[in-house]
Amino acid sequence: MSKFSEIHDAARADWSKLQACWQATRAQWRDEVADDFERRRWQEWEERVPAFLHALEDLEETARRALRETE
């Protein structure tokens, strides 16, 4: 397993845990402040984290290709 894979897997696992925590919190936290947090903060994470994970996968593939080409 490459370092990229380790970082990706750890980030994905942490993201899954954070999503579960947010879902549990959101089930109990139902007011305007929660709505504002979800709209202004959480939704950004919902977009950025999957994009980061995908970019990390692409970076790993690029690094693998570069290593193969230099062997």
Tally of domains within the chain: 1
What percent of the chain is predicted at pLDDT more than 90? 86
Q: Report whether 70 contacts 32 (CB < 8 A).
A: no
In this predicted model, what pLDDT tens digit does every residue of 16-50 receive, in sequence order?
999 999 999 999 999 999 999 999 999 999 999 99
Distance in angstroms (rounded) separating the CA atoms of residues 49 and 15:
8
Mean per-residue pLDDT over the chain, rounded: 94
> What is the model's pLDDT at position 4?
82
Task: Please tell me the total number of residues recorded for the chain in this structure.
Answer: 71
Q: Is 43 left (phi over 0), alpha (psi -120 to 50) or beta?
A: alpha
At residue 1, does pLDDT exceed 70? no
Range of the domain at 7: 3-70
Give the DSSP letter string of 22-58: HHHHHHH--SHHHHHHIIIIIHHHHHHHHHHHHHHHH
